[in-house]
Amino acid sequence: MLLEAQQECRADIARVNDPKAQALFETVAEVLGGTTKALTDYSQQSEHIWERAGYTTRQATKPPTVSDLAVDVDASEPPPPIEKV
């Protein structure tokens, strides 16, 4: 399925005249090709990184709390009005 999508993107490059659209289709085709290679390498354990002893997948991280994202402000330096941000 990914290879078919990659081939379709490459065919679309010739179908459009807009250089930005052509660049987009080329980029998507390259990403799909890289994704296909990575999935193949992973399933076949053919890359060195997959062969290393002790390699573990990354554990899920806890999402930040609202307080982690809060801006540090006080009365002496209030935040700017929203329309000026």
Residue at 69 is within a domain:
no
Judge residue 26's burial from the number of C-beta atoms within 10 Å of its C-beta, 0-12 exposed, 13-18 middle, 19 or more buried: middle
Residue at 56 is within a domain:
no
Residue at 81 is within a domain:
no
Q: Considering its fold, how many domains does the chain have in total? A: 1
Residue at 83 is within a domain:
no
Residue at 24 is within a domain:
yes
Residue at 36 is within a domain:
yes
Chain CA centroid to CA 26, Å: 16
Range of the domain at 10: 1-43
Backbone φ and ψ for 77, nearest 5 degrees, come out as: -140, 80
Residue at 63 is within a domain:
no
User: Which residue stretches of the chain have pLDDT < 50?
Assistant: 85
Residue at 11 is within a domain:
yes
Nearest to 4 by CA among 32, 30, 31: 32
